[in-house]
Amino acid sequence: MYLSKIFFYFFIACLLFFVSCKNQEKNIHSGIIDIEQGLQNLTRLKTSDFGKTIRYIPLETTNDGLVGRNPVVKVLRDYIVVEYGNQYSAQACLLFHKDDGRFIAEVGHSGQDPESFTSHFSWTDETETFLYFQRSPNQLVKYDMQGNYGGNVRFSTSSLASYYLLNDSEIIGYFGGMNQQGKTNSFSIGFFDRDGILIDSIPSLFPETTPMTPDEVVNANILTAGGRGREIFGIWGYTGTMILNYKNDRRQVIASNAARIWKHDGNIRFKEEFVDTLYTISDRKLVPSIVFNTGKYHWPVEERLSTKNTNERIFIADISENNTFVFFQCIKGMNSDAPVLYTGLYNKHTGKTRISNNSDAIEDDLTHFIPFTPLGLSTSGEFVSLVEAYKIMEWMEEHPEAKNNEKLTFLKGLDGEMNPVVILIE
């Protein structure tokens, strides 16, 4: 019996060692992100927690490339994409060089012609050759990185996904919020060929419920991209948010185009809303990879519309990752009238989770510039932020000594009418 126990424990130890080695080889990092402990032991984050160096890229200001207020920024390997506007104002997508911020072109346009988009929010393919835009009801139109129209993809589904991941061989769409498929054929992830034909899907992780009807809506509040939505709901609400209040004390917060699927180091990741597991998609199946331990703050998926007894519940909002970190934001009491936003870092190498209250500014202890506001990660793994020029000028009025800082030479010649400055930390 004693030898049997020794053999059993030896077998388990070898198995764990083997799994650990395989995880390192594939870079599929299993682990637990301890939200409960992190919220009970809040910390103050600094820029040095995100990386060792900061790079500032002032975007070139030209008549053709003027960036509007409250822009949304995406940083690719070689390009910076800036989008602004909403359904009530002019929409535009501008492209800049990542190396020096030079303006390249305006990409796409809104309108009624066959080459126009209905939303300026864009995705890029794996090689970053094209930018893709939604065209209702079921198309993506694409443009190359010089702003030239490159055709369209017409999908076999009746509606568009809320987020897309475009690989060489297929297009993966996440159907969430108002884009969720019907009750009898419900799925969260759709796999399409390059012609838009649905070839496979992953069922919705939500329990089947009776769909809401319009007469149940009491009122709706739309928060446009880049403004109030980001202040309240962080990066998850960065591209626009809709708050629907229903009868019987129910509320639904829907973020437009929130990233729920992404690719990192060859692995396709998926995180469904109100589900505390981060999955890797392998062979079009979900493989659990990382668990968010929300503990006493857990928000059961079947109570996701409730406004009662949910003020202490935690909603895992935005997630992205690089080789070192899983970066995330979470919201306590999202369905309340006073939600609280938090920012967190999970270190893959140490397994440690650090969380700060988003109201606590992230001090720039590397170059002593304006507090850092992370907006996610670039496709190269850099932490991204964007600061509009007029906000920098307001900050400089209170910090005139910044002009003499050798690390902030880009401030020379800057004025409040210029385009924003993109900030990268790695």
For residue 162, is it within any domain? yes
The domain tally of the chain equals 1
Residue 19's pLDDT is 38
Q: Where are the beta strands (DSSP E) in 36-85?
A: 54-58, 72-75, 79-84
- CA–CA separation, 411 vs 404, rounded Å? 9
Two tokens at 347? 């270190």
For residue 132, is it within any domain? yes
For residue 396, is it within any domain? yes
For residue 379, is it within any domain? yes
Q: Determine the structural domain holding residue 403 and report its residue range.
A: 30-425
Residue 172's pLDDT is 98
CATH number, residue 165: 2.130.10
SS3 400: helix
DSSP summary character for residue 49 = G
For residue 248, is it within any domain? yes
For residue 283, is it within any domain? yes
Q: Decide: 166 and 125 in contact? Cβ < 8 Å.
A: yes
Q: Decide: 140 and 133 in contact? Cβ < 8 Å.
A: yes
> Strand pairing partners for 269?
262, 280
pLDDT along the chain (426 residues), means of 10: 36 37 42 96 98 97 93 96 78 96 97 94 96 96 98 93 94 79 66 97 84 85 77 90 92 92 94 96 96 97 93 96 97 96 96 96 97 96 97 96 94 94 98
Burial code (b: 16+ CB inside 10 Å, e: under 16) for 162-191 equals: bbbbbeeeebbbbbbbebbbeeeebbbbbb
Residue 3's pLDDT is 36
CA distances from 98 to 55, 74, 103, 400 (A): 11, 11, 10, 28
- CA–CA separation, 147 vs 290, rounded Å? 39
Nearest CA-CA partner of 322 in 27, 44, 21, 124: 27
Two tokens at 388? 């509009």
For residue 25, is it within any domain? no
Residue 256's pLDDT is 86
CA-atom Rg of the chain in angstroms: 22
For residue 393, is it within any domain? yes
What pTM was computed for the model?
0.90
Residue 88's pLDDT is 57
Q: Based on the number of CB atoms within 10 Å of its own CB, is 214 exposed (0-12), middle (13-18) or buried (19 or more)? A: exposed
SS3 10: helix
Two tokens at 187? 């799925």
